[in-house]
Amino acid sequence: MILPYLNPSLPTQQRIDDLVERMTLDEKIGQLNQIFATPESEERDKEMIRQGQVGSRILAFSAHAGNDETEADAYTPLWEFQRIAVEESRLGIPLIFGRDVIHGHLTVYPIPLAQAASWDIELVEAAAKATASEAVSDFVHWTFAPMLDIARDPRWGRVIEGSGEDPYLCSQMAKAQIRGFQGEDTSAPGSMVACAKHFVGYGAVEGGRDYNTIEVTENTLRNTYLPPFKAAVDAGVGTIMCAFNDWNGIPCSANGYLLNTILRNEWGFDGYVISDWDSIKGMVEHGSVEDAAVAGQHAIQAGVDMEMPGHCFATHLRQQVAEGTVSEATVDQAVRRILRIKFMAGLFEEPFVKVRKQQPKGLKSEHRQLARKLAAESMVLLKNNEDALPLANDDNCTICLIGPLIHARRELLGNWTLDGRPEDTVTIAEGLAQLRPDLKIAPADAAVDAQIRLARKSDQVILVVGEDHFRNGENANIADITLPAGQAQLIDAIHAIGKPIILVVCSGRPLVLTDIEPKVDAILWAWHPGSEGGNAIADILSGNVNPSGKLPITFPRATGQIPIYYNYKNTCRPVDDYYGEDSRYQDQVGKPMYRFGFGLSYTHFEYSNFTLDRSQMLTDECITASIQIKNTGKASGFEVVQCYLRDVVASTIRPVRELKGFQRIHLKSGESKTVQFSFSESDLAFYGADNQQRTEPGEFQLWIGPDSSATIGGKFYFKQSKDSNIATERQACLNPDPSFC
Ligand code: NOJ
């Protein structure tokens, strides 16, 4: 007879109950243990699996896999490990294999910060789905993505891994990525479990120094840092990773208020929480506990279920349960949460590879197309003096391509790319050569002087500069966010000989361009664009694709302007658009170099006919703002229409404006469309001084426009009724069907 926990036709809860009932304490503790395996530890690891002492394996060799060149080797021998778990361990509980599959697997998509610049929810979801389909074929059941840390300090190396500075945009990206990774059914072929990380506040590390402390009030936590995680939970994310940092003096790996009170009790999260690598033991270094045993005790009691390599649970829990310092019920609860996700992922039915076939040698053409499209959509045109771009089709104009990154492969893939192969990457030189066979390309070994001589002989120069893939990422912070050494001088040298410069910048973070901008005719911010980066850059420069990317993060004029972000709280010296005379520095203007939401196109969009359908909104009502957008230029293109809101007077200070909606629309030359945004009471809600979600009556201002400086708009008054219930209003008035546009 088939044991109940192995019977897929029984309800999951019944299967979990049956299995937990059969488990010894050691087997339970084993489920909470994630190991990493090296060739040297293989025999010991197999024995531990056989004994039921392992619940998961991370496919990485070190705590900062993103910056480790050897990570591609971390796969062996997965099949054998799983076979031992299901065939030779007493209960046959499958392992769950996790890996940092962050922005692509074999096919690499642009870095997450770049994906956010596309503002294209469907495409970001499609990329995550394609990523999952490749990764599961390599035995990855679970990815440690998406990273949902709001990041407002580009010195922080991990700014590349998230969606930038804004809670709303980050929440939309979170939902898209989770839908893409997990699909409708996480047990289906091609789906994998997602992990929202790092819970919470990691993006606020002081001075952008990785692993540092944060100072974030509960009010800011709830209004700014938590919303993307709430969106992830609402989207059904299977797991959450807690952060290295503390919040309110308590490390996130033992912060019961965050993990139990907010995540589980308030939000109803029913997946499991994993620590970060060694983050439980890290509490000893934090100085919040005396030793690893107490660290483990605090972590499990605060709601951490699985320990990423660190061994506090595996080494000490047995004795702690025997002594009564940790109850077996607490262990059971963690085991149940882990088993629930293993059942949900279908691991008991299909413990091996869900998509059984060999990975292709090259990349799938449909994944390449997707990567090319997303890379092109994510690029942001920051300057285009006198229509320097797209490149003119003029036989008399010679164009050259120079710069340190034109033949780069690995660098284009970006940080946190463990499996993307440099040999599958299209370089910028290759991409452009296909579209412009007449292009003069500096050879890979050309010295700087030779590149300058080539520029001198040309009429126009495409100069590619930027960061390599290890200048950002985990623990890769920089104190001065300027271009890497020597690149500004190269720009100066070309400028000095009077050649028009098309500057292409590949980077994982915003960089300061204040002195460079006046010396160049056009700037294309290409980020780290992934496997199809070279083709995507060629698509934009040639005009085959009209740029539509918009910045998901503010670009400062100087490192000293940091922090600078569009949605700061209103001050006693109010200004509408970043910082005014009273709060700027004496040696710098108050505005940034490029604002949040900014990005140019090869065409022009004109905004007009703004209307609000009512001037007063009651609790049960929706308010709808409309605007007409016309493509007044010659090229057809996409525009990201953005809607911002301000709560003019509230019991706690609110941001000067907050993004509340966006739509990406296509307009042919001469075409007009009307775009609408509808809001209900829940869209006006915020967390007040009591840290409860609330809405307050009064005046609201709303703007619609092409970036965060939007000036066209109007105001309305909100009046609350007694039975207002903000939690249930949301569904009542979603934005109109996109087909409207
Ligand atoms: C530490 C990082 O903070 C986390 O994001 C990552 O998933 C783990 N290392 C595993 O590589």
Residue 63 Cβ inside 6 Å of ligand 1? The answer reads yes
What's the one-letter identity of residue 219?
N
CA of 100 to the centre of ligand 1 (A): 7
DSSP string, 412-464: HH-SS-SS--GGGPPPHHHHHHHH-TT-EE--TT--HHHHHHHHHTSSEEEEE
| Ligand 1 atom index nearest CA of 197 | 5
Q: Ligand 1: which atom is nearest the Cα of residue 161?
A: 5
Give the nearest ligand 1 atom to 65 CA.
11
pLDDT in tens, 270-305: 999 999 999 999 999 999 999 999 999 999 999 999
Quick check: CB of 283 below 6 Å from ligand 1?
no
Q: What is the pLDDT of residues 511-545, one digit of tens each?
A: 999 999 999 999 999 999 999 999 999 999 999 99
Whether the per-residue pLDDT at 726 is higher than 70: the answer is no
Q: Give all domains of the chain, ordered by start, each with its CATH number.
A: 24-99 (no CATH), 101-344 (3.20.20.300), 367-561 (3.40.50.1700), 605-740 (2.60.40.10)
Q: Which residue is listed with tokens 């700087």?
A: 448
Q: Amino acid letter at 55?
A: G
Expressed in angstroms and rounded, the spacing between residue 245 Cα and the centre of ligand 1 is 13
Q: Which helix (H) or strand (E) holds 49?
A: helix 42-50
Among 242, 120, 113, 233, which residue's Cα sits nearest to residue 182? 233
At 22, is the secondary structure helix, strand, or coil?
helix
Within 8 A by CB and 6+ apart from 250, the residues are 257, 288
Q: Tokens 């929202």: give the residue.
A: 196
Distance 279 CA to ligand 1 centre (A): 10
Over the stretch 208-241, which tens digit does the pLDDT of each residue have? 999 999 999 999 999 999 999 999 999 999 999 9
CB neighbours (10 Å) of residue 606?
12
For residue 651, report the distance from its CA to the centre of ligand 1, in Å: 39
* Candidates 100, 246, 276, 468; catalytic one: 276
- The 10s digit of each residue's pLDDT in 618-662 is 999 999 999 999 999 999 999 999 999 999 999 999 999 999 999
Residue nearest to atom 9 of ligand 1 (CA): 63
Is residue 101 lining ligand 1, measured as CB closer than 6 Å? no
Note the pTM of the prediction, 2 decimals. 0.97
- State in Å: Cα 276 to ligand 1 middle: 6
- Residue whose CA is at the smallest distance from ligand 1 atom 11: 65
- Is residue 735 scored above 80 in pLDDT? no
Active site residue 185: no
Residue of 39, 45, 126, 132 lying closest to 84 (CA atoms): 45
* Residue 175 Cα to ligand 1 middle (Å): 20
Decide whether any atom of ligand 1 lies within 6 Å of the 60 Cβ: yes
Q: Is the CB of 197 under 6 A from ligand 1?
A: yes
Residue 573's pLDDT band (boundaries 50, 70, 90)? confident
Q: Residue 115 corresponds to which amino acid?
A: Q
85 lines ligand 1 (CB under 6 A): no
Pocket test for ligand 1, best of 34, 62, 276, 419 (most atoms within 8 A of CB): 276
- Which residues are CB-neighbours of 390 under 8 A, at least 6 positions away? 540, 541, 542, 543, 602
